[in-house]
Chains A and B, each alone.
Chain A
């Protein structure tokens, strides 16, 4: 008997034979139920938990299925429920259960880099998403990606804001010792941009960019892969024709002003900040390279997940909740105000508003509107991880044979997130892989090697 069955149904078959999920008597009933689930409104949270608790109590009183069946047959389901309620406080138990497993650790520390990619992680504190899920989370601003990585590995942080490829790199031991990390949620999609110094406003064709210096936030970043991809599609070899420098996001605007770099592919609010201060203009948004690309992730070590599974589940739910809230356009202004103070991002509200609402000054005197400039979708598609691995291999960060699927599935926890999202009533996709197009070229997650071999410009190994 599964926890989610109706515990007061005496006719339920006891044999394990049935459908794949074990909840239904036959394959056809399973298919019907899944179909029904899709169109039916999701039952209330309370009701769902009540069934789970009652089931557990029935199982505790009648550990033998046959005895429980006999009892139900003789008194009837409603009498049984009434009888049990008399000596067992089902209501209270349900309430207690609705809070789900008590977190092993209530006070958590979560590191973040002050950029709008971290919006769900940051806003969870001022807007109370962590508190709602029974946690007391301190979000700690951190100086750079390498420090975030080291502090999370050191367990100073329980979980962290990381660039989407970082947990893969850490799990593989690239640039650090190999420690298994996992990603339960993507922070944001889109929301980056290529910003160039004002003096290049007439050099908009990337073919003319030979010899220019660009900044990227980190080697293992979507920014690095997207910029390299963009340059390579325009015939430039990012390793020989231009210079790419790893610069922490906050230092990028200062470097652009000082003429140390010609431009950057950076996270927002950095791009918008350069425009706000009149040092640069927006060449293109990253969504013009790949609409819907992931950027940052919420990551934790496997060790944290296994030692504090309830804390991990609670913090994941808080992030999913916050991400769902952030994905709604009408909430964006409120979020911008909540995350702007010195305690969080420490940036002018106007800048954050322009990033989050998508109505922004482009730096050349025009106002542009793109509500999807940055968007929030937490589902950790494993095909994202596969794509990142192809680019890691393309640019020589990893060598030899890569087991794309195994790594993607180990690091990107699509299955767990899917059930957490379903539990919370959020629509989660059925599959963990999807195909997408980067600059018009389709990526098929099923054949990553072919995809990789189709690129002419790559690091010769």
Chain B
């Protein structure tokens, strides 16, 4: 059995690697210089970019991206003033913003979710509001937040909060509401107080569902931060993407995309680990 799983993961790794290499190869071939170059005088060519003079594709190849990535990784924490900081600093700002907005969302969603889950009345009363607020895009919240909060940093945090609160709230409510009736009845027979029942019976029983909600939420929060930072600017990985887009540097945009993906995966894995810790066999 152990042999089989190890050989399975080995085979999966080989296929992953092959897919990755194939992807790089196709990417490399697709971005080679191909378009015809119009003839131009040397003085004119000096005033033009590589796309126009050498027929270079506007899309960078994997080698360009790799070289640029290495450049960024060599000095991740440089600070050239308010509008140009290293990728490490930018990611730090983004993670801090996400952390703050997410923490606020946890503080609101879990107690409120508990309440909703334990009381069918409140659940029904709040349901229409939740259903309407849940699908709103972060970009739609932004102008409203900027206008009312009057601070772009806080607005970004608010937008993360408002977008990541719903999955947690719904999952908590669902988890709490679907705790097995028998367990609650047993607790009741043993005359366990409401508060103690909530913490020693309902919370552990609902924990896996709550954690799943939190895991969905962290993903959303990380999605939102990029959009929010592109809009308010200043610092963060979203601002980095915008600033490089400004300079039409697709290479840097691809690097940012890669890093956003990696950090998102990391955050997700952390929550996944927590989920496994609280999961119990039935």
Shortest C-beta distance, A344 to chain B (Å), equals: 7
Q: Is the CB of B146 within 8 A of A344?
A: no
- Known contacts A143-B233, A147-B232; is A273 also within 8 Å of B248 by CB? yes
Main secondary structure of the interface of A (DSSP, over half): mixed
A140: Cβ under 8 A from any B Cβ: yes
Q: Say yes or no: A277 contacts B248, CB within 8 Å.
A: yes
Stretch at the interface among A55-63, A80-88, A359-367: A359-367
Q: Is the CB of A343 within 8 A of B82?
A: yes
Indicate whether A156 sits within 8 Å of B83 (C-beta atoms), given known contacts A141-B233, A275-B48. no
Q: Are B51 and A277 in contact (CB under 8 A)?
A: yes
Give the nearest-CB partner of A176 in chain B: B147
Q: Decide yes or no whether A253 CB sits under 8 A from chain B.
A: yes
Beyond A347-B247, A366-B44, is A278–B233 a contact (Cβ under 8 Å)?
Answer: no
CB within 8 A of A278: which of B52, B84, B246? B52
Given A276-B52, A365-B44, decide whether A147 and B231 contact each other with a Cβ distance below 8 A: yes
B52 with A343: CB separation less than 8 A:
no
CA distance in complex: A367, B40 (Å): 11
Contact yes or no, B83 A343, CB < 8 A: yes
B81 at the interface (CB under 8 A from A): yes
Taking a contact as CB atoms closer than 8 A, the residue among B58, B84, B143, B246 that contacts A250 in the complex is B246
From residue 411 to 429 of chain A, which have CB atoms closer than 8 A to chain B? none
Chain B 18-47 interface residues, beta-carbon cutoff 8 Å to A: 38, 40-41, 43-44, 46-47
A140 and B48 contact, Cβ closer than 8 Å, known pairs A154-B152, A254-B245, A346-B247: no
| Number of residues of chain A lying within 8 A (CB) of chain B | 40
Residue among B40, B51, B81, B246 with the most chain A CB within 10 A? B246
Contact A350 B84 (CB under 8 A): no
Q: Select A367's contact among B43, B58, B233, beta carbons within 8 Å.
A: B43
Q: How far is the CB of B254 from chain A (nearest CB, A)?
A: 15
Q: Does B135 contact A (CB under 8 A)?
A: no
List the B residue with the shortest CB-CB distance to A146: B143
Contact A140 B151 (CB under 8 A): no
> Complex formed: what's the CA distance from A130 to B47 in Å?
32
Asked whether, in the complex, the Cβ of B40 is within 8 Å of the Cβ of A150, the reply is no
* B49 at interface by CB-CB < 8 Å: yes
**Which residues in B have their C-beta under 8 angstroms from that of A365?**
38, 40-41, 44
Residues of A within 8 A of B232 (CB): 143, 147
How many Cβ-Cβ contacts under 8 Å join chain A to chain B? 102
Q: Which positions 275-328 of chain A face chain B at CB distance < 8 Å?
A: 275-278
User: A350-371 interface mask toward B, CB cutoff 8 Å, 1 = contact, 0 = none?
Assistant: 1000100000110001110000
Cβ of A169 under 8 Å from chain B: no
With both chains docked as a complex, state the minimum distance between the C-beta of B89 and any C-beta of chain A, in angstroms: 13
Question: For chain B residues 210-249, which have a beta carbon within 8 Å of chain A?
Answer: 230-234, 242-248
Residue A138 CB within 8 A of the other chain: yes
Whether the pair B48, A278 counts as a contact (CB closer than 8 A) is: yes
User: CB of B80 within 8 A of chain A?
Assistant: yes
Q: For the complex, is B150 an interface residue (Cβ under 8 Å from A)?
A: yes
Q: Does B247 contact A139, Cβ atoms closer than 8 Å?
A: no
The reply to whether B151 and A143 contact each other, CB–CB distance below 8 Å, is: no
Supposing A154-B146, A365-B44 touch, asked if A140 and B80 sit within 8 A by C-beta, the answer is no
Using A275-B48, A278-B48, A350-B47 as known contacts, say yes or no to A342 and B233 having CB atoms under 8 A apart. Answer: no
Q: Which residue from chain A places its CB closest to the CB of B245 in the assembled complex?
A: A250
Complex Cα–Cα for A421 and B30 (A): 57
Chain A residues near B147 (CB, 8 Å)?
A: 150
Task: Decide: B248 and A253 in contact? CB cutoff 8 A.
Answer: yes
- B38 contacts across to A, CB distance below 8 A: 365
Question: Which B residues are CB-close (under 8 A) to A254?
Answer: 245, 248
- Within 8 Å CB of B246, what residues of A? 114, 250, 346-347
Taken together as a complex, chains A and B put the C-alpha atoms of A358 and B256 apart, in Å, by: 35
**How far, in whole Å, are A342 and B85 apart by their CA atoms in the complex?**
9
Q: Indicate the member of A114, A151, A348 with the most B CB atoms within 10 Å.
A: A151
20 more CB-based (< 8 A) A-B contacts, given A275-B48, A278-B52, A365-B41: A125-B81, A140-B82, A141-B82, A141-B233, A141-B234, A143-B231, A143-B232, A143-B242, A151-B152, A253-B248, A276-B47, A276-B52, A277-B51, A342-B80, A343-B80, A343-B84, A360-B47, A361-B44, A365-B44, A367-B47
Show 28 residue pairs from A and B whose CB-CB distance is below 8 angstroms, ordered by the A residue.
Answer: A140-B82, A141-B234, A147-B231, A147-B232, A154-B146, A154-B151, A156-B151, A250-B242, A250-B246, A251-B245, A254-B245, A254-B248, A257-B58, A276-B52, A277-B51, A277-B52, A278-B52, A343-B80, A343-B81, A343-B82, A344-B83, A346-B243, A347-B246, A347-B247, A348-B247, A354-B47, A366-B44, A367-B47
A-B pairs with the 7 shortest C-beta distances? A278-B52, A343-B84, A361-B47, A250-B246, A343-B81, A342-B84, A154-B150
